[in-house]
Amino acid sequence: MAKKRVIPKPKSPKKSSGRRIKPVPLKISSRTWFITFGVLVLFVTWYITYASNTAFRSPAFYIYVYRGMDAEALADSLSERDAIKSKLTFRWMASIMNAEKIRPGMYRFEKGWGNFHLLSYINTEELRPTQLIDLAEYRSRKRTINELSKLTNTEEKELLGLLKDKEATDNLGGFTTESVYCIFRPGRYRVYKKMSAEEVLEYMSCQYDLFWNKDRQDQCAELDLTEDETVILASIVYSETKQRKEMPDIAGVYINRLHDNMKLESDPTVLFAQSKMDSRRVTNEHLAIKSDYNTYKRKGLPPGPICIVPAFVIDEVLEYDQHAYYYFCAKEDMSGTHNFAKNFTEHKANADRYRKALNKKKIYK
């Protein structure tokens, strides 16, 4: 016979004696307060003086100070350009160092500098002569580098060598040897009259950062793309058409494809992989090439821009048209404009008309 399980009775709680325990007051000596206050003062002093106050992506930031600009105006300018984290501590340090007057000229600030370093550099660095250059609009990456080397009096071989160096491109702000071409953009720039190849790339990286203000960054987020990816997409759009009014429509096609996880199937990317950007026809031979730039075989964007993109093209992509098109093809009238289609059947009919027009004009390449 099994033993009966005995459940013990719960013990009754002990009666309180009724005596109240008084809390022991925590005594902090004046010495402890003094040490705590001293440590706090030291930390604040160190933070204002030596802690990094730079916020830019590039390894160096270039800014030209015009005549009459004081430390307060410089702090505002640096803050507006997202170059420093705190304009307040910069102003405090300038006041402490009596560095409120700023000499006109171009300054090069390095990533990680604190306020003391920044203002010491402003006060003591020998200013270098500058010049204005106009980088013309070249679609070719190679031709752009060639022209930039001439304008900045640097060796083209040195620039190309750095652009092929993984560590060097990564140091410019996390770029690869392909995505680094995103930093180049036609336009007018103020540069030093004598620059090293490293400084030229630093400078262009800095200008790239300045281009991506908060408004453009917000637009990028809406596209679900990074800044670099947006430039790469803009390079494809720019290679597809010279008609500015069509750029938002073409960008919309590619964004629809990206969001639906479709291959981009962009002819210019295939031609870029073959170094045949002037070709009017894309053949099966072109489509068969093994390359990260072959968007007929590889999903997503290519690893870098296929041409150098002007600012206005990037803005057209950021303001792309939201529509239901997934295809487009050059019009058979050779006007440089395109027919857009929502499905492959419509697209095939458009493509057939264009092909017949090429054959009629005896254009085979």
Token readout for 13 is 């709680």
The structural domain count of the chain equals 3
Phi and psi angles of residue 42, each rounded to the nearest 5 degrees, phi first: -65, -40
**Structure confidence at residue 116 as a pLDDT band (50, 70, 90):** very high
Report the pLDDT value the prediction gives residue 3, as an integer from 0 to 100: 47
pLDDT tens-place string over residues 30-69: 767 666 766 766 767 777 888 999 998 889 999 999 998 9
Same-domain status, 146 and 117: no
Residue 105 buriedness (CB in 10 A; 0-12 / 13-18 / 19+): middle
Q: What is the pLDDT of residues 180-200, one digit of tens each?
A: 999 999 999 999 999 999 999
Per-residue model confidence (pLDDT) at position 276: 64
pLDDT at 131 over 90: yes
**Domain interval for residue 243:** 214-360
User: Do 332 and 259 belong together in one domain?
Assistant: yes
232 belongs to a structural domain: yes
Residues 205 and 139 in one domain: yes
What band does 5 get if pLDDT is binned at 50, 70 and 90? very low
CATH of the domain at 84: 3.30.1490
Q: Give the span between the Cα atoms of 315 and 297, in whole angstroms.
A: 28
SS3 111: coil
Q: Is residue 179 part of a domain?
A: yes
The angle formed by the CA atoms of residues 81, 86 and 92, to the nearest 5 degrees, is: 120
What ranges in 97-246 are assigned the alpha helix state H? 115-124, 141-151, 156-163, 166-171, 197-211, 214-223, 227-240
pLDDT of the residue at 198: 96
Does residue 37 lie within any of the structural domains?
no
**Residue 198 sits in the same domain as residue 295:** no
For residues 325 and 256, the answer to whether their CB atoms sit within 8 Å is yes
Residue 330 binned pLDDT confidence (cut-offs 50, 70, 90): confident
**End of a domain among 124, 142, 168?**
124
Query: Could you tell me if 281 and 354 lie in one domain?
Result: yes
For 105-134, what is the mean pLDDT? 94
Q: Check residue 274 and give its pLDDT.
A: 85
Q: At what angle do helices 156-163 and 197-211 cross, to 10 degrees?
A: 60
Going from the C-alpha of 318 to that of each of 139, 292, 323, the distances in angstroms are 20, 24, 14
Report how far residue 180's alpha carbon sits from residue 184's, in angstroms, rounded to the nearest whole number: 8
Instruction: Identify whether 47 is part of a domain.
Output: no
Claim to verify: residue 243 and residue 356 sit in the same structural domain: yes
In the predicted model, is pLDDT for residue 22 greater than 70? no
Assigned domain for 273 exists: yes
- Do 139 and 266 fall within a single domain? no
Question: Among candidates 303, 285, 278, 307, which has minimal Cα distance to 293?
Answer: 303
* One domain, residues 239 and 298: yes
Residues 305 and 224 in one domain: yes
**Shared-domain flag, residues 346 and 233:** yes
Q: Is 28's pLDDT higher than 70?
A: no
Cβ 130 vs Cβ 193: under 8 Å: yes
Q: Which of 213-222, 252-261, 267-276, 318-327 has the lowest mean pLDDT?
A: 267-276
Identify the pLDDT of residue 269: 94
* 164, part of any domain: yes
pLDDT band, residue 321 (cuts 50/70/90): very high
